[in-house]
Amino acid sequence: MGSTVLVTGAAGFIGMHVSRRLLAEGHRVIGVDSLNDYYDPALKQARVAQIEGKAGFGFHRLDIADAQGVDALFRKTRPQHVVHLAAQAGVRYALSRPFAYVDSNLMGSTAILEACRHHGVRHLVFASSSSVYGGNVKVPFSEADPVDHPVSFYAATKRANELMAHSYAHLFGLPVTMLRYFTVYGPWGRPDMAIWKFTEGLLAGTPIEVYAGGELSRDFTFVEDAAEATVQLLWRPPQRAPATQAETGAAVDAGSRRPDSSWAPFEVYNVGRSDPCTVNELLALLEARTGARALRRELPMQPGDVERTCADPSKLRAATGFEPRVALADGLGAFVDWFRGWRERRA
């Protein structure tokens, strides 16, 4: 068997697909999830059921904010690699429940960083978000762009995660790769996301909330593309840049330090297609796929939302030769087909 990989958020949307992809390669996967009730735990349990019987998979119900529990699990299972996807997601939920983000995204991520540090993890791949780009107006978004002005508390915690991870890479030599995912969607997706809500409303004939006239745009990434990028990068731990003058006594060319990662074994990658779509265009595609007409409820732009996202995927392509490829129309078709089956089973 290959490497032992610990995947946090294994009952989550991306986590299930990453775990399945790793198992298909012959690796041992230690799945960790709290199965909390941010959305229906039955969906999370059903995701786990898709992979629970596969050889090499073990599931542990654990809140990553439990630092002692996390350390004990690392000590017991000895993972060589970690994919840290567990997080409190959602932009609007943070307006009423900010401490959920502190507990999971800050406290929980610190527990993971500490465990990786103390248990010899070779590479930590850590989920960030396109939300860190905030109100940036230059598109496409590049990893080297400034990300100092988050417009949601969720985005602030994910930017904090990047800074926390960089400090561990620098201080302890822990190789860390941060992934800025751009609006991941597809089968087994999340009920709090627009594509799920729109499809549900179209099939049920209920009103769909549309913000800012439907002119907001997003760079949508199919989940299997996101999982592929994650796994490809897992086997490419970043290397430390040339040593500092304090270590060698010789000057180091400042140009050798990458502007998005300095000298630490640390990298940041966008995971997106660079093909944004407006909400109006998205709805039209879903109407065509479902054969239903949307009942729109027009609302103003919501606090924490951004006008657009658009990834520059060139750094990912240069590192791996891969970039997300599934066209939105094809990915929506796969989601709608899956959703119809899920809806029937739940009924």
The pTM score is 0.94
For residue 300, the model assigns a pLDDT of 94
Q: What is the mean pLDDT of residues 64-83?
A: 98
pLDDT at 314 over 80: yes
What CATH number is associated with residue 238? Answer: 3.40.50.720
Counting residues of the chain whose pLDDT is more than 70, the rounded percentage is 94
Q: What is the mean pLDDT of residues 164-176?
A: 97
Q: Which residue segment(s) compose the domain that 267 sits in?
A: 4-346
For residue 219, the model assigns a pLDDT of 97
In total, how many domains does the chain have?
A: 1
pLDDT at 242 over 90: no
d(CA 308, CA 338): 27
pLDDT at 255 over 60: no
pLDDT at 141 over 60: yes
For residue 8, the surrounding DSSP H or E stretch is strand 4-8
Q: Which residues are catalytic?
A: 154
Question: How much is the mean pLDDT over the chain?
Answer: 93
> Distance of CA 322 to CAs 4, 242, 273, Å?
24, 27, 11
Q: What is the mean pLDDT of residues 181-188?
A: 98
Q: What is the mean pLDDT of residues 143-164?
A: 96
Q: Cα Rg for the chain, rounded, in angstroms?
A: 20
